[in-house]
Amino acid sequence: MVIHHQLADFISSNFALSNSSINYWYQGYCPQTGDLLKLPRTPLAEAIAKSLMQQLSQHDRFSQEGKMYGILLIELSNGKLRVLKAFSGLLNGCSVVEGWVPPIPGREELVLEESRTLAKLEAIKNELIRLKQLPEREEYEMLFRKFEGKLLEMCDRHQHSKQKRQEKRQIICQTLTGEALNQALEELNNQSRLEGIEKRQFKRQRDALLQPIKQLMVQADVEIRELKKQRQELSRQLQTQMHAVYSLTNFSGKSLTLQQLMPAGLPTGTGDCCAPKLLHYAAINNLKPVAMAEFWWGKNSVNGDKVAGEFYGACVERCQPLMGFLLSGMTAGEPREKIEILYEDEWLIAVNKPAGLLSVPGRYSYNQDSVISRLRQVLPDGMMLTAVHRLDQETSGVLLLARHRETYRQLSQQFEQRQVRKVYEAVLSGVLLIDKGVIELPLWGNPENRPFQTVNWQVGKPSVTHFQVISREGNYTRVEFFPVTGRTHQIRVHAADSQGLGMVILGDRLYGCNANANRLHLHAKEICFQHPHLGERLSIPAKTPF
């Protein structure tokens, strides 16, 4: 089976690159040495990937479903360049396809168990569809609306009768006396009682007809909840089994299962993405990786975050956790950048966080490198440090850290009460026509697509950002942002969403920027707050690096 493809299969011999800049790095920290390991997505890799897109476009079977595809440019022992290509998951129901990198070892051990589980999941899916589409649900809605309409008409009629009786009471009280008055009032009261009886009888008639149907629907909803639990448990069991047998090998020759790599668990589909397939295959065959590129092809993703023909980096939840291990054995990349301290006293520290570095350590071993972890290694009281707030990994700028619990409590209170003034500088990919304004949008993060945020007017949390244009430079706009609230990715969504500025921040690929950029052009340039112990107002700036 042909796996190594010639460069000529994708680009011509006279191909020339118009731009030599690198748009993205696949990177991770070596679990053993802590060195940053990097693999670029070069213009040549992108050109090969675009040629693969053209090849895919000529066959309908590649457009029937949306998925990630990837290429890995490799160097053979004789120095010649070759191309590997991979697809995520299954391709038209197949895991092994001629000309494509095979799946990571382990799946074949679970073929029978996987087919059984998938059959059960399919049966559960069909039963859920049946229960959700019960004809009784439509019947109930139709009858309910019918009864509600009649009840509303009855109530309107009774209300009109009540007003008439009140008018009549006033007249007879003025014109009648004695027994005649009592008889007239009793007749009016009897009319009121009859209307009450009519209404109660109508409701009993309604409930007698609707209650059995409603009970059937309630029972169906109970079954739906139970089936969803069963589905979740079956998926969890299968995924656990897969993690236990999927074995990845890195360029140091070390092999570990997904379960060993991430004992706390990984999302569904981990190990089936393009990047792990390509790097694992290269490692076990002693092929030197030169560059890699991944893109989406076919139907756009359901939530709209993946578009056909666009390049994407390592996915945050499935690939990035494995990247440090997979790249181990390659030549170490750049040394760790030193953290610049902007302000320091006995109570707090303000640092200039570099882009690409976490504010605090992540949950897993692969993402422990952070501002906090680095400072804890160099400061005598480093273990006492606590981040008062956080910046996105891709965002640079002023980050405030407390050295004592009481300082943290008081500073956190200022953030909660919105007494801290934050200033960000960003470059928008486009020309913004308005000079300043306020953006107010409710933001919501889908738990199944973290950390991506969207505008959601039903369940989103309110967020407010003021902005002001600094300058317009060619096809870009330099803007200052003043966030009042502190939601996840607030400025990035407020800039990119059509209900905000409708203009993505340069380098923000998560929210759709396709322009060439070596980083996210968002920087926390200043923070102003009341010093919790000195009592004075502090303003700490950090020079914008772009």
Mean pLDDT value of segment 530-545: 95
Lowest mean pLDDT among 56-65, 69-78, 428-437: 56-65
Task: Give pLDDT tens digits for 362-414.
Answer: 765 556 778 998 888 778 777 889 999 999 999 999 999 999 999 999 999 99
362 touches 323 (CB < 8 A): no
* Confidence band, pLDDT 50/70/90 cuts, at residue 235: confident
Q: Which residues contact 102 (CB under 8 A, 6 or more apart)?
A: 95, 96, 277, 281
Sign of CA dihedral 229, 234, 237, 239: negative
* Confidence band, pLDDT 50/70/90 cuts, at residue 61: confident
Mean pLDDT value of segment 304-328: 86
What is the C-alpha separation between 235 and 217, in angstroms, rounded? 27
Cβ neighbour number for residue 509 with a 10 Å cutoff = 18
What is the C-alpha separation between 266 and 318, in angstroms, rounded? 7
Q: What is the pLDDT of residue 242?
A: 67
Mean pLDDT value of segment 530-543: 95
Nearest to 401 by CA among 293, 259, 527: 527
Q: Which residues contact 98 (CB under 8 A, 6 or more apart)?
A: 1, 2
Sign of CA dihedral 146, 151, 152, 158: positive
Q: Is residue 527 helix, strand or coil?
A: strand
Q: What is the pLDDT of residue 89?
A: 84
Amino acid at 161: S
What is the C-alpha separation between 109 and 107, in angstroms, rounded? 5
Would you identify the CATH topology of the domain 340-541? Pseudouridine synthase (3.30.2350)
pLDDT of residue 538 exceeding 80:
yes
Spot the catalytic one: 392, 435, 497, 508.
392
Task: Give pLDDT tens digits for 431-450.
Answer: 999 999 999 999 998 777 77
Q: Is residue 519 helix, strand or coil?
A: coil
Of all residues in the chain, the percent with pLDDT exceeding 70 is 91
221 is catalytic: no
The mean of the pLDDT values for the chain is 88
Answer whether the bond into residue 102 is a cis peptide, omega within 30°: no
101 touches 84 (CB < 8 A): yes
Nearest to 210 by CA among 268, 141, 286: 141
pLDDT of residue 19 exceeding 60:
no
Q: What is the pLDDT of residue 332?
A: 46
pLDDT of residue 107 exceeding 70:
no
Q: What is the pLDDT of residue 364?
A: 59
Task: Give pLDDT tens digits for 172-209.
Answer: 999 988 898 999 899 999 999 999 999 999 999 999 99
Q: Is residue 40 helix, strand or coil?
A: strand
